[in-house]
Amino acid sequence: MSAPVVVAVAPESPAERAGVVPGDRILAINDQIPRDVIQYQLLVDEPSLLLDVDRGGLRREVGVEKPAGSPLGVEVDSPLFDRVQTCDNHCEFCFIYQLPPGMRRSLYLKDDDYRLSFLYGNFTTLTRFTESDLERVVTERLSPLYVSIHATDPGKRSEMLRNRRGGTSLRWLRVLLDHGIEVHGQVVVCPGVNDGLWLEDTLAGVADRFSDLASLCVVPLGVSRHTSEERMRPHATGEAAFVVDTVEAWQQVFPARRRSSRPTGPPGSSGRSTGRRRRASGRPGWTARRRPCVSARGPAPRWPCSRANWAPRCWSRWSPRSPTGTCACSRWRTGSSAETSG
């Protein structure tokens, strides 16, 4: 783990008065070694600090007294002092794979680190998120975070991220929302991959499972001439228009969905109720009532479900693009017709 290096000291600040100078490496603050600038900020909020400093190879201790919560007056060189969590996905649409060769190394870094999501708004897929990460996010209220969704169907998401964990990592999104973390979602729409009915399915999945997202942005794939992925191509005009139509239709659905699922609470409470509580309450809200169409279950997609699925459990009932009874749930039957919900 590297130590933060002081790159600037504010004039007249507590740090300057205590003798901290640019170039100092801060090894510990009150005997604690900060992992990143988030923890660093928490530590330097204390009124009485003892900095363990490396200056030109010589260690020294610097005491700082200041009002609690006031700035120390030090700028450090990096947001993360331990290793950045790198991405283990291999998305076809990754913008980093589409960079030309020979640029500076930092541009080729694929990060998937919730801390950079909190600090800079980087999107994370949560495929490397862990229990200890969750504990820290919740206890330190690292909110908002930004999560790449792309598809809510586990198989499609794994395919897009080219990572088995992509199929399961959205469970962390549900847990984050249940703990009151504000999360913004993103769907990168790749023509021929997750547009069309897959996009319908994704938006239905978001409405069903993640309606308490703060926002969801649907962005078109960007393709550079340096891509080597055969499937990646720009949207044709008709495809782009279909995406816009789809999103506009769902924009009518989401506010109503959010209103209907808006939690209530006792007077004086924040009014926030977790999705887990909503489901456990048995309240006949859409969250409790809606279930994936049974035609969606199964290991591998084979052919599109063409049945007019109007059973109570069918997602197509909530799809704005299926008003006439044609199944638009974009789920796939995987076996005999007996598997469909009817």
- Is 213 among the residues that bind ligand SF4 (CB under 6 A)? no
Site for ligand SF4 in 40-99 (CB under 6 A): 87, 89-91, 94, 96
Give the span between the Cα atoms of 158 and 178, in whole angstroms: 24
Tell me the backbone φ, ψ of residue 29, rounded to 5 degrees: -125, 120
How far apart are CB 133 and ligand SF4 at their closest, in Å?
16
Nearer of residues 96 and 280 to ligand SF4, judged by Cβ: 96
Nearer of residues 87 and 187 to ligand SF4, judged by Cβ: 87
- Is 158 among the residues that bind ligand SF4 (CB under 6 A)? no
Rg from Cα positions in the chain: 24
Query: Are residues 329 and 291 in contact, defined by beta-carbon separation less than 8 angstroms?
Result: no
Query: Are residues 4 and 76 in contact, defined by beta-carbon separation less than 8 angstroms?
Result: yes
- List the one residue out of 300, 298, 291 whose CA is nearest residue 338: 298
Nearer of residues 125 and 227 to ligand SF4, judged by Cβ: 125
- Collect all residues with Cβ–Cβ distance below 8 Å to 141 and sequence separation of at least 6: 181
- Residue with structure tokens 């708004």? 121
Q: Is 293 helix (H, G, I), strand (E, B) or coil?
A: coil
- Is 227 among the residues that bind ligand SF4 (CB under 6 A)? no
Nearer of residues 74 and 160 to ligand SF4, judged by Cβ: 160
Give the span between the Cα atoms of 32 and 214, in whole angstroms: 35
Nearer of residues 3 and 87 to ligand SF4, judged by Cβ: 87
Query: Are residues 197 and 328 in contact, defined by beta-carbon separation less than 8 angstroms?
Result: yes
Nearer of residues 21 and 219 to ligand SF4, judged by Cβ: 219
How far apart are CB 124 and ligand SF4 at their closest, in Å?
8
How far apart are CB 157 and ligand SF4 at their closest, in Å?
11
Binding residue (CB under 6 A) for ligand SF4 from 125, 295, 309, 322: 125
Running DSSP on this structure, what letter comes out for residue 4?
Answer: P
- Is 117 among the residues that bind ligand SF4 (CB under 6 A)? no
Tokens of 337: 């017709």
Site for ligand SF4 in 234-293 (CB under 6 A): none
Q: With CB under 6 A as the rule, give the number of residues binding ligand SF4.
A: 9
Sign of CA dihedral 256, 292, 289, 148: negative
Query: Are residues 90 and 104 in contact, defined by beta-carbon separation less than 8 angstroms?
Result: no
- Is 165 among the residues that bind ligand SF4 (CB under 6 A)? no
Nearer of residues 117 and 295 to ligand SF4, judged by Cβ: 117
Binding residue (CB under 6 A) for ligand SF4 from 39, 45, 75, 110: 110
Kindly list the residues in this chain that would bind ligand SF4 in the complex (CB under 6 A): 87, 89-91, 94, 96, 110, 112, 125
